[in-house]
C-alpha cells in the first residue's frame, strides 16, 4: 500500500502519508509538483532547502520535498519563473459509513434501480461486453461472486493497475471501489445484488489506498491509464483539490473519446469546490434520498449536472455486501446508465451521451430556468428514457457546443455557442449563468449560433442554456485569465 512514500518511508507505516492544509485544501505535506523546471528554477529551489525526490514520467512532473509549502510556492510565483507548479493534492473517496446487510434482505433493498427505471431499460438492453467502465478508485475485489465474471482484463490477463503500490494487482483493500463497481455491473446470478448495467465490464484502477486516500499523482495517472486502455467511461467517485495537472489528465481522456463521471461531493456546499466533478469535461452527479429529495450531504450549485440515488445504496464489498451513503454511490448509477446508452448505440460521442443523460432526466423541481434546479441539477437520472433516446425515440435531444472552451480573457475575443451543423438553419435563444444562477448575458441567433463576448466577468465556470425550435440543451464554459 505504499503511495509514493519518498522520505516519509522511515517515519510512517506503509500506505500512509502526512497531509497539511494549503489554501483550504488538503495536500501531501511538503510535496510540490513541477513541470519541466529550468536550471534557474532548480537552483532557486535548492537554495531554499528543497530536495528533488522523483519524476513521474506519465504526468511529466518532477517532485520536490520542501520545508514550508506555502512559502515555496509564493517564492516561485513571485520569481516570475514560467513553470507549472502545484501541491500534490489529496483525494478521498466520497462516501459515508454504512452497514452490512443480510443476504436474504438484499433484493428488496435495491431501491435505486427502480427509482431510475432500470427494469424498463432492461427491456431494451442489460449492457454489452464491448462497453468497459473504468472504476478509478480503491481497486476492485475481482474475486467477488457478483463481479468476477464482469471484470475487464488486458491481453496479459491483468485486471488493471495499482497506482498506489505501483504494480499490476488492483485488488481492493478498502471496499469503496468494489461497492462502486457493483452498482455499475454486478451480474445477475440469482443471488447477491445486481448492477444497473449487468452486461458490461469494469476495469480496476487503484488510485486510493487502504484509507480511501490518494493524491494528484495517483488520480491523474489512473485517469490517463484508463483512457489509454480504450475504456468507454471513467467513474470517479472521489474528490479533492483541483489544478492544472489533474485537469490535463481529464482533458486527455476526453480527447480520446472517454466520458468522465464524478461524485459532486458530500460537504453540503458548492459543487464547484470539489474536483474532478467541477471540471468542464466531467459529468457532476449529486445524491438523492429514497423520498426523492436531495441528500442532506450532497453538494449543490451550477456545476452540478443531475442527481441519482445515493442514500442506503446496497452493493458489493470485499467478501460480502454493504449499504453506503454518498455521492460516490450516485455517480456509478450514471456511469451504468451511460454504459447502457453506449450498448445500444456505440457510435455516440461522450458529448452525445452527456446530452442524452441530461435531456432524459426527470425534471423534479426547476427554479433557475426551465429544467434546472440549483440543488437537483437538471433532474433525476432516468435510465429507461436515456436508453430510448439513444435509440432515437422518446426524448428530443439536440447537440450544441461552445468554443474556444476554455476561453481566455487575455487572448480570445468571443465565445461561439453553436448548434450541430444539421441544425444550423434554426433560430436559437441563449442565456449565460454564473455558478450561483445569476444571468449575465442573453442573446439570439438566426443561423444556429450565438456570439458571447465576456466583458466585466470574473474568471470561473459559467453555464449556458440554449433553446430552439428543435429542442434545448445546456453546457459549461470555463473563463480563464
8 A C-beta contact, residue 402 and residue 464 = yes
328 assigned to active site? yes
- C-alpha triplet 266, 244, 326: angle, nearest 5°: 15
Do residues 280 and 476 make contact, with C-beta atoms less than 8 angstroms apart?
yes
Q: Which of 237, 284, 328, 389 is catalytic?
A: 328
Residues 113-122 as b or e (16 or more Cβ within 10 Å = b) = bebbbbeebb
Going from the C-alpha of 227 to that of each of 250, 259, 282, the distances in angstroms are 9, 10, 14
Closest CA to 240 of 135, 91, 134: 91
Q: State the DSSP H helix or E strand holding residue 107, giving kind and residue range, or none if neither.
A: helix 106-109
The closest alpha carbon to 182, from 141, 229, 221, belongs to: 141
Q: From the candidates 176, 274, 335, 467, which is the catalytic residue?
A: 176
Question: b/e per residue, 46-79, with b = 16+ CB within 10 A?
Answer: eeeebeebeebeebebbbbbbeebeebbebbeee
Instruction: Say whether 144 is catalytic.
Output: no
Active-site residue flag, 137: yes
Which among 94, 128, 137, 389 is annotated as catalytic?
A: 137
Cell representation of residue 19: 497531509
Q: Annotated active-site positions, please?
A: 137, 176, 328
Amino acid at each position: 500500500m505504499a503511495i509514493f512514500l519518498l522520505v516519509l518511508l522511515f517515519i510512517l507505516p506503509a500506505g500512509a502519508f502526512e497531509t497539511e492544509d494549503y489554501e483550504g485544501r488538503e495536500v501531501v505535506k511538503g510535496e510540490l509538483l513541477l513541470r519541466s523546471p529550468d536550471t534557474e528554477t532548480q537552483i532557486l529551489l535548492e537554495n531554499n532547502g528543497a530536495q528533488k525526490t522523483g519524476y513521474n514520467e506519465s504526468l511529466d512532473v518532477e517532485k520536490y520535498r520542501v520545508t514550508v509549502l506555502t512559502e515555496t510556492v509564493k517564492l516561485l510565483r513571485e520569481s516570475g519563473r514560467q513553470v507549472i507548479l502545484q501541491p500534490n493534492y489529496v483525494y478521498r473517496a466520497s462516501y459515508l459509513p454504512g452497514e452490512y446487510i443480510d443476504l436474504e434482505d438484499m433484493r428488496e433493498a435495491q431501491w435505486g434501480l427502480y427509482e431510475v427505471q432500470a427494469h424498463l431499460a432492461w427491456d431494451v438492453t442489460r449492457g454489452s461486453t464491448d462497453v468497459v467502465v473504468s472504476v478509478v478508485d480503491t481497486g476492485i475485489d475481482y474475486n467477488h461472486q457478483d463481479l468476477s465474471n464482469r471484470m475487464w482484463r488486458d491481453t496479459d490477463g491483468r485486471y488493471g493497475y495499482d497506482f498506489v503500490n505501483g504494480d499490476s494487482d488492483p485488488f481492493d483493500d478498502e471496499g469503496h471501489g468494489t461497492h462502486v463497481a457493483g452498482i455499475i455491473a454486478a451480474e445477475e446470478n440469482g443471488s447477491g445484488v445486481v448492477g444497473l448495467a449487468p452486461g458490461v465490464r469494469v476495469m480496476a484502477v487503484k488510485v486510493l489506498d487502504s484509507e480511501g486516500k490518494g493524491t494528484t499523482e495517483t488520480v491523474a495517472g489512473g485517469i490517463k491509464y484508463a483512457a489509454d486502455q480504450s475504456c468507454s467511461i471513467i467513474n470517479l467517485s472521489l474528490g479533492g483539490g483541483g489544478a492544472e495537472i489533474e485537469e490535463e489528465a481529464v482533458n486527455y481522456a476526453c480527447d480520446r473519446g472517454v466520458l468522465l463521471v464524478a461524485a459532486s461531493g458530500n460537504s453540503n456546499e458548492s459543487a464547484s469546490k470539489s474536483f474532478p466533478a467541477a471540471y468542464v469535461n466531467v459529468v457532476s452527479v449529486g445524491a438523492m434520498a429514497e423520498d426523492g429529495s436531495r441528500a442532506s450531504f450532497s453538494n449543490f450549485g451550477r456545476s452540478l449536472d443531475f442527481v441519482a440515488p445515493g442514500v442506503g445504496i446496497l452493493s458489493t464489498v470485499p467478501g460480502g455486501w454493504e449499504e453506503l451513503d454518498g455521492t460516490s454511490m450516485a455517480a456509478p448509477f450514471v456511469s451504468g446508465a451511460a454504459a447502457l446508452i453506449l450498448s445500444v448505440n456505440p457510435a455516440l460521442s461522450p458529448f452525445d451521451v452527456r446530452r442524452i443523460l441530461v435531456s432524459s432526466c426527470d425534471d423534479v423541481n426547476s427554479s433557475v430556468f426551465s429544467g434546472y434546479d440549483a440543488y437537483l441539477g437538471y433532474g433525476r437520472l432516468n435510465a429507461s428514457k436515456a436508453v430510448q433516446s439513444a435509440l432515437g425515440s422518446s426524448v428530443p435531444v439536440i447537440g450544441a457546443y461552445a468554443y474556444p472552451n476554455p476561453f481566455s480573457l487575455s487572448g480570445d475575443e468571443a465565445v461561439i455557442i453553436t448548434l450541430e451543423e444539421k441544425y444550423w438553419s434554426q433560430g436559437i435563444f441563449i442565456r449565460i449563468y454564473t455558478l450561483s444562477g445569476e444571468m449575465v448575458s442573453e442573446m439570439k441567433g438566426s443561423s444556429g449560433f450565438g456570439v458571447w463576448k465576456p466583458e466585466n466577468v470574473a474568471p470561473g465556470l459559467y453555464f449556458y442554456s440554449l433553446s430552439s425550435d428543435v429542442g434545448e440543451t445546456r453546457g459549461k464554459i470555463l473563463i480563464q485569465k
